[in-house]
Chain A
Amino acid sequence: MNKSFPAATAPHTVGSNRVGRIMGLVICALLPAIILHVIVFGPGIVLQIVLGVTTALVTEALALRLRQQPIRQFLCDGSAVITAVLIAMCLPPLAPWWLIVSGTAFAILIAKHLYGGLGANPFNPAMVGYAVLLVSFPAHLTRWLAPDIAGLQPVDLSFGDVFHTIFTGQLPDALRWDAITSPTPLNAVRTGLAMGNTLQESVASPIFGAFGGKGWDWINVGLLAGGMSLLALRIIRWHTPVAMLAGLMVPAAFMYAMDPGTYPGPLFHLTAGATLLGAFFIATDPVSSATSNRGKLIYGAGIGLVTYVIRAWGGYPDGVAFAVLLMNLSVPLIDRFTVPRIYGHER
């Protein structure tokens, strides 16, 4: 007796990579840095992440409902969670709750879903959210805690203190902001130079260790480890991070060689601010970056260069977010000029 089978079209089998797997692994790769962040700056970031992720999922669900898209399928893809976690990692750990909530909501609603949702947003949603906060509430974003290592943090903040501060926007009565905060390395150098100090005098402060700011160096090691695992798992390709780091460090090395009293060296830039977070976790966002390998080199180098220009001569201590957004804007152009030569075609 003849047997019948279901109709099927080739290819009859597919690989095991899925959007959800990519997003899940990116979140896992952020874990070492998050854990180190908790060790250095206390539990604030955990609360920020919880607030951000909750906001992201609620706004994502709302937007999907309004757009009449399948909610469960997209809510489980992990992309909204990454947006929230990245914003949380850019904010000071004690930032008031409405900062992360409004930044994340803006990122998901305006930067992502207004443009058509997953895969259709020209700008990195996390960077849009962060940039909006940076432009709107700059003062809140400078209140970084002093790292709780090497005796830099005089106060022992309890979880209750952190909770109270984030939800009320006020420190507990016994505390004062200037007692517990400390400038970030980029800020310290910037204000030092603005006050007429040399670079060497500025980095002589106890907040600096052998590789940039104390505590920040640990977190950067975590980010580097996470980035390397993403490379090893082939979730990201090397082109964007390497080009971004080169785009930042080559001009840094040049300017440092020209005037070492004013311009910090390339190693300082490597571990300062959002350099490594940007190189491995933000610039590598597939949706908003260039697609071909050659395009990724140009795109990454552009982010590095613009970041350097903003840090060295611009109005903000760090420039990764603006550099990413600016290069997002250039992606259609880059993609247009980096189309590979097709087999059998002349150039």
Chain B
Amino acid sequence: MTPRVRGGLRLDANKARSTRSPLRSASVPAELILPLDQHAGAPARPIVQPGEAVLLGQPIAEPHGDISAWLHSPVSGRVAAIEPREVPYRVDPAQSIVIANDGRDARFAQPAVDYRAMSEGELRAHIARGGIVGLGGATFPTEPKLSRSNVASDRHLLLNGAECEPWISCDDMLMRERAGDVILGARILRQAIGATKCTIAIEDDIPLAAAALRAALDYQDDIAISVQHDIYPAGGERQLILAVMGREVPSGGLPADIGIVVQNVGTAAAVARWFRDGEPLISRIVTITGSGVREATNLEARLGTPIAALIADCGGYAQEAQQLIMGGSMMGLGLTSDSLPLVKATNCVIVAANADLQPRGVEMPCIRCGDCAEVCPASLLPQQLHWHARDQNLGALLQLGLMDCIECGCCDYVCPSQIPLTQQFRIAKIPVSSELQARSDASAARARYEARNERLLRIEQEQRERLEAKRRQLTGRKQ
């Protein structure tokens, strides 16, 4: 069905355990930590003061810059502090708003709005005010992503429900239990970009979610459902576009450049709640799983809830808890402490036992087997990149497409020599991207220099012509 997809791996999904029990609400802690930079782009700016009372859903930080997002209080209470706190997605602490929960959940007045009466621009502005960011894990603010699509005339909304990474099941549970939210959100998003077409892509291993979506669509055919094989990383944005539409996003470009906007199904559901219920993005569904936790399940949790509280909600740690991962086992972030808060990006927390993960063996030299190239979804040659990354040969790395690497980890997974390729590529990208920057700076400087030369030449030419004209005038008068 999807012969166009390249590479990829069939991995053990490990999703059965967390999808056995229905979705439930996590308990709300006494203190919530909301980092100001938990979305991609520039950090938000606080608009509340320490000590100030806040209501559930009240904006507490506003976007700053082109790519940024609103932040809302997930509970009612008081701003306890605005200070740096440890966060899951980076090493150094991030400035955060800490809210002391008063336990009353008193709501900030926010009327529901009817999207059908709104223009594209109004819809996008309202989406921005809801603090909506991509909930698939990349947390790119939704409004700027929607606005970028203006460049193409024929627009297509692609909802990503292909949750390809092992362990993560929050989108599956969302679609099973709240398919109506996903469909409503899809219609709002579609109208917000003036798209003619809308497709929801899912994998073939979640039949219950597919049935729920079809039931919610109720024979209306304005939204198509595309079922893909569950091959990792089919849910990667670029891979999904190729699989569903047979098109490739140009290297260095964005899907919006070819008129495609990809949004996670969770993002669509968040948009629906914001428009229908007036509830901004203050919670998300998170999979708590792994053999290190007693009861694996999906929780709907308020942003800012410490991960330790989520695990306590799932019966606490089992004996064999050895590793803590935010995200899936292929691309997730290793966490060093469970005191870190749930953020907009936290789709999954794996409390892994040793048996859940196959540890890396002793690294051997590359034997050029080419298995890495076979599984690379971007059709790169990881083995060649490996040689050149070791030699820091930036030119060769650029030419071999290092910047097209999506860091999915497939090459690592199959490497018989156990070379940590993905980590090597992540590190190699740093000098390569500064090289790219330098090149574009250099070409900008050259353009400026050439423009200046041209300007000087033009001025000189004009002066000469004026002089000439004057001379002609003078000689004319003499005659």
Contacts and interface: CB of A to CB of B under 8 A. Distances in A.
Interface in B243-263: 248-253
B418 interface: yes
Contact of A2 (B323, B339, B377): B339
Given A12-B357, A19-B367, A342 B404 contact: yes
A21 B418 CA distance: 12
B329 interface: yes
A10 B412 CA distance: 9
Interface string B15-39: 0000000000000000000000000
A18 B361 contact: yes
A307 B373 CA distance: 29
Contacts of A74: 364
B422 A11 contact: yes
A7, A11, A19, A292: most-surrounded residue (chain B CB, <10 A):
A11
B86 to A, nearest CB: 10
Nearest to B404: A342
B381 A286 contact: no
B262 to A, nearest CB: 14
A11 B233 CA distance: 13
Contacts of A341: 379
A110 to B, nearest CB: 18
Contacts of B249: 344
Given A5-B324, A8-B325, A11-B330, A73 B336 contact: no
A14 B365 contact: no
A339 B370 CA distance: 12
B416 interface: yes
A289 B414 CA distance: 19
B409 interface: yes
A12 B325 contact: yes
Interface in B331-380: 331-339, 350, 352, 356-362, 364-371, 373-374, 377-380
Contacts of A151: none
A196 interface: no
A343 interface: yes
Contacts of B238: 343-344
A236 to B, nearest CB: 9
A120 B387 CA distance: 11
A6 interface: yes
A311 B27 CA distance: 79
A339 to B, nearest CB: 7
A5 B412 contact: no
Interface string A3-28: 11111111111111111011000000
A325 to B, nearest CB: 17
Nearest to B371: A17
A267 interface: no
B150 to A, nearest CB: 21
Given A6-B336, A7-B334, A10-B332, A118 B409 contact: no
Nearest to A9: B423
Contact of A3 (B308, B333, B359, B377): B308
B409 A10 contact: yes
B415 interface: yes
A3 B368 contact: no
Nearest to B375: A15
A7 B325 CA distance: 9
A289 B352 CA distance: 39
A287 B409 CA distance: 23
Contacts of B325: 8, 12
A340 interface: yes
A181 interface: no
Nearest to B372: A291
Contacts of B412: 11, 14
Given A118-B365, A343-B377, A345-B404, A5 B422 contact: no
Nearest to A70: B362
Nearest to A286: B369
Contacts of B352: 12
A117 interface: yes
Nearest to B357: A13
B317 interface: yes
A79 B417 CA distance: 13
B321 interface: yes
Contacts of B338: 2-5
B27 to A, nearest CB: 17
A119 interface: yes
B358 A13 contact: yes
B322 interface: yes
Contacts of A161: none
Contacts of B41: none
A77 interface: yes
A342 B401 contact: yes
B418 A342 contact: no
B242 interface: yes
B378 A286 contact: no
A88 to B, nearest CB: 22
Given A120-B365, A286-B368, A11 B418 contact: no
B298 interface: no
Contacts of B335: 5
Contacts of A292: 370, 373, 381
Contacts of A293: 370, 374
B41 to A, nearest CB: 22
B362 A291 contact: no
B413 interface: yes
Given A341-B379, A343-B404, A344-B253, A9 B334 contact: yes
A12 B336 contact: no
A2 B367 contact: no
Contacts of A17: 371, 414-416
Contacts of A291: 368-370, 373, 381, 383
A8 to B, nearest CB: 3
Nearest to A13: B357
Contact of B409 (A2, A11, A21, A119): A11
Contact of A119 (B329, B361, B373, B417): B417
17 contacts: A2-B339, A3-B317, A7-B336, A8-B334, A11-B330, A11-B413, A12-B334, A19-B416, A22-B367, A119-B364, A119-B417, A237-B374, A291-B369, A340-B379, A342-B400, A343-B377, A343-B379
Interface of B: 6, 166, 238, 242, 248-253, 308, 317, 321-325, 327, 329-339, 350, 352, 356-362, 364-371, 373-374, 377-381, 383-384, 400-401, 404, 407, 409, 412-418, 420, 422-423
Given A5-B336, A14-B413, A340-B379, 17 more contacts: A3-B321, A5-B337, A5-B338, A6-B323, A7-B334, A9-B423, A10-B329, A11-B329, A12-B329, A12-B352, A13-B357, A14-B360, A17-B415, A18-B416, A79-B367, A119-B365, A286-B367
User: Which 5 A-B residue pairings sit nearest by Cβ, starting from the closest?
Assistant: A8-B334, A11-B409, A119-B365, A344-B251, A286-B369
